[in-house]
Amino acid sequence: MTLQQLAKDLTYTGTLTDAQVTGITADSRQVEPGSVFVCIAGGKFDGHDHAASALEKGAVLVVAQRDLGLSPQILVEDTREAYGLLCGAFFDYPAKKLKLIGVTGTNGKTTITYLVKQILEAAGKKVGLLGTIHNEIADMVIPSKHTTPDPLQLHAMFARMAEAGCEYAVMEVSSHALDQRRVAGCRFDCGIFTNLTQDHLDYHGSMESYYLAKKKLFELSDRAVINLDDPTGQKLISELSCPVTSFSCQRDDADYTARDIRFSAKGSQFSLLANSQLARVSFAMPGEFSVSNALAAAVGCISVGLTFEQAVAGLNQCKGVPGRIEILPTDTPFTIIRDYAHSPDGLEKIITAVRVFAPGRVVTLFGCAGNRDRTKRPIMGEIVSRLSDFCILTSDNPRDENPQRVVDDVLPGLLEHDTPHEVIVDRYSAIEWALDNCHEGDILILAGKGHEDYQVLDYGTIFFDEKVIVDELLAKKKGEAKR
């Protein structure tokens, strides 16, 4: 591929040679002879400062936002946008060979993408998935580093999906990715909006900026599926120009609604209504938010071509999602659930859902992430204390922040209520204490880590899979009981 072929979709100033392109990167450390180097200014580093060294390493072109006095060089208005377009062109536009479904919102993205994939596959479709837990190409599982990958990785994954015969690709689209133009060059057949609650303010600065970042997905979408139960969803509908389909667990004016909802520890049952169509759904995940996620996935699939009957059949076959209100198989007189809830809204939803079917106490073990939005810490503490019967405050991923300081930030909210609690900063010890002190009929919620099999500490990342840890601790307890 020549430079002219690669850059044919760009608006730029400068002159291109007919040099052959062997690669493209925004990381100067990855430059090799024949590479195109795109200068991107980040929070800590500015690629423009490394453009000269990229040419010395053999780059055949520098793409920049300001004149660096280098040759060969072209100037564009937005290098992030250009990077996405160039990556798509380098892989021969694989996104155009797939039906793209993007999911955005504070909570529910991972669950909905998994459900969409399961519903489409139940209808006989071949599907790729990109998201927080991992990436999938049909049955192949590939590790995931970011919720939404870097453009080079993203289009490389699309290319692999297209080569594998995938017809659809469903992906989580984070606010960071939208703000950083990581999906530039992608056109979504359907964009799905879940909800918007406080999160990532350390990055976006305000809820309005957070909202505007999420909204960008629908500027790239042919149609939208929107949660009418969320106030931001209602606002979004009024501001979109693309066709919108709404869903709701609470309102009759939505296009698709769930009625006669019933919950148990094994899942949810509800009636799905749409105009003159009606079907009964038995779904593997409990809680109203799970029903909302199920609606989003089903309606999203219908919007890209499935029939109402196919979507219902797919929902009835869904098996749930790892680390999302996942009941761990344990031989204990109490129930253990692990969930990824790590925001105020996520915690409120999971605890409220569990309370509906809890025969005994709801015991919530949780922490707050280090080096992240400090303002939500006391809010999370208040929610857990208000809704739980017992609280265990511990660490999440403290990163390089002092874990005790994170705990101290949470405590004012936790102490707003008289709910009994225990503070154990070390998360492993906190889980061990919880297993020793839960009673028959209790439901223990391990909140915050979900599918994650690691914990990020100041000295590095350690293995920390709570499913494995629970098994090990229970086996230890069982061995001690035999002595």
pLDDT at 201: 66
User: Which of residues 216 and 146 earns the better pLDDT score?
Assistant: 216
Model confidence band, residue 480 (pLDDT cutoffs 50, 70, 90): confident
pLDDT at 62: 97
Instruction: Tell me which amino acid residue 255 is.
Output: D
Residue 98 scores a pLDDT above 70: yes
Summary mean pLDDT of the chain: 93
- Dist CA 273 CA 151 (whole Å): 39
pLDDT at 322: 87
Residue 310 scores a pLDDT above 90: yes
Residue-wise pLDDT tens digits, 188-208: 999 999 999 867 667 767 888
pLDDT at 482: 62
3-state helix/strand/coil string of the chain:
CEHHHHCCCCCCEECCCCCECCEEECCHHHCCCCEEEECCECCCCEHHHHHHHHHHCCCCEEEECCCCCCCCEEECCCHHHHHHHHHHHHCCCHHHHCEEEEEECCCCHHHHHHHHHHHHHHCCCCEEEECCCEEEECCEEEECCCCCCCHHHHHHHHHHHHHCCCCEEEEECCHHHHHCCCCCCCCECEEEECCCCCCCHHHHCCHHHHHHHHHHHHHCECCEEEECCCHHHHHHHHHCCCCEEEEECCCCCCCEEEEEEEEECCEEEEEEEECCEEEEEEECCCCHHHHHHHHHHHHHHHHCCCCHHHHHHHHHHCCCCCCCCEECCCCCCCEEEEECCCCHHHHHHHHHHHHHHCCCCEEEEECCCCCCCCCHHHHHHHHHHHHCCEEEECCCCCCCCCHHHHHHHHHHHHCCCCCCEEECCCHHHHHHHHHHHCCCCCEEEEECCCCCCEEEECCEEEECCHHHHHHHHHHHHHHHHHC
Q: What are the two backbone dihedrals, phi and then psi, of residue 103, each rounded to the nearest 5 degrees?
A: -120, 125
Residue 357 scores a pLDDT above 60: yes
Token pair recorded at residue 152: 């080079």
- Dist CA 281 CA 464 (whole Å): 35
From the CB of residue 125, how many other CB atoms can be counted at a distance below 10 Å?
20
Residue-wise pLDDT tens digits, 253-268: 999 999 999 998 888 9
Model confidence band, residue 275 (pLDDT cutoffs 50, 70, 90): confident
pLDDT at 230: 94
CB proximity list for 336: less than 8 A, separation 6 or greater: 327, 328, 330, 443, 444, 446, 470
CB proximity list for 10: less than 8 A, separation 6 or greater: 74, 76, 82, 85, 86
Residue-wise pLDDT tens digits, 46-90: 999 999 999 999 999 999 999 999 999 999 999 999 999 999 999
Residue 464 scores a pLDDT above 70: yes
pLDDT at 200: 66
Token pair recorded at residue 444: 């223990």
> Residue 340 in contact with residue 324, Cβ under 8 Å?
yes
- Dist CA 347 CA 339 (whole Å): 9
Residue-wise pLDDT tens digits, 151-191: 999 999 999 999 999 999 999 998 888 989 999 989 999 99
Residue 431 scores a pLDDT above 90: yes
pLDDT at 46: 93
Residue-wise pLDDT tens digits, 380-419: 999 999 999 999 999 999 999 999 999 999 999 999 999 9
Residue 142 scores a pLDDT above 90: no
Rg of the chain on CA atoms, in Å: 24
Residue 420 scores a pLDDT above 80: yes
pLDDT at 140: 84
